Structure 1
């Protein structure tokens, strides 16, 4: 069963390759959850680590993942294993330059429009 979460990337780790040839890369996504934001660690394995290329901290993403569980020496562990990322690029655009935005006053006091632009 697949799950989705949406949040902002807090950090992306470097890939780790183990002696067995297994490779993984982890990322932390901050999810706004009521009063207290949650920092969720997700891992990407083998060929899925390439999905993290080009992403940056602060970027809003939706991650699709599976929950994986296992037992080791009588203890149980869970992992969130990501396999799809959709970046919300529109929300990651830099703030607009309001000085060049038509209709907004510039810093020198010029209102950015003339009397002919006013509809009344």
Structure 2
């Protein structure tokens, strides 16, 4: 999955030693805000010192984040984990969209095509009353429709 937005906060880096393998580990979480009509926020993790340094994510950057979602159970409760596996600079406006990610209606710079109703399986003009004709003398008709 992919999401594009602005990094608005970087949480503190966490590190430790695995009790099971004895290897060192590191993780850092970031908050990304989308540019939709109603902006949404998502917290995601980057796992591994090498990835944290490679991605070099800073607050204020516009990024496209590819991520995996997983869930785990702990003491009868379920928790989601969103882990980034690729982070790239966001494309400039007007650039070709990322494969698999289409523009959303209401997003900045996205307009509805003139025949947009037809692409959603609707017949244009059906059920929508047109403008009412005026009488020849310039007055209004007394018809109820």
Give the TM interval when normalised to the shorter protein: 0.5 to 0.7
CA RMSD of superposed structures (Å): 1.9
Provide the C-alpha distance between the structure 1 equivalents of 2:83 and 2:72, rounded to a whole number of angstroms.
Answer: 13
Q: CA deviation at 1:57?
A: 1.7
Structure 1: 5+ residue stretches without partners: 92-120
Q: Answer 1 or 2: which has greater helix percent.
A: 1
Distance 2:39 2:84 in 1: 20
Q: Radius of gyration: which is bigger?
A: 2
Unaligned runs of 5+ in 2: 19-23, 94-145
Deviation at 1:89, TM superposition (A): 7.3
Answer yes or no: is 1:31 the counterpart of 2:29.
no
Give 1:24 shift: 0.5
Deviation at 1:88, TM superposition (A): 2.8
Tell me the CA shift for residue 90 of structure 1.
5.2
1:23 and 1:75 map into 2 onto residues whose CA distance is 24
Residue 17 of structure 1 aligns with which residue? Answer: 15
Pick closer, same or farther for the CA change 1:66–1:49 going to 2, 3 Å: same
Contact between 1:67 and 1:81, CA under 8 Å: does it hold in 2? yes
Query: Deviation above 4 Å: which 4+ runs of structure 1?
Result: none
Normalising by structure 1, we get a TM-score of 0.64
TM-score (norm 2): 0.54
Cα distance in 2 for residues equivalent to 1:83 and 1:66: 7
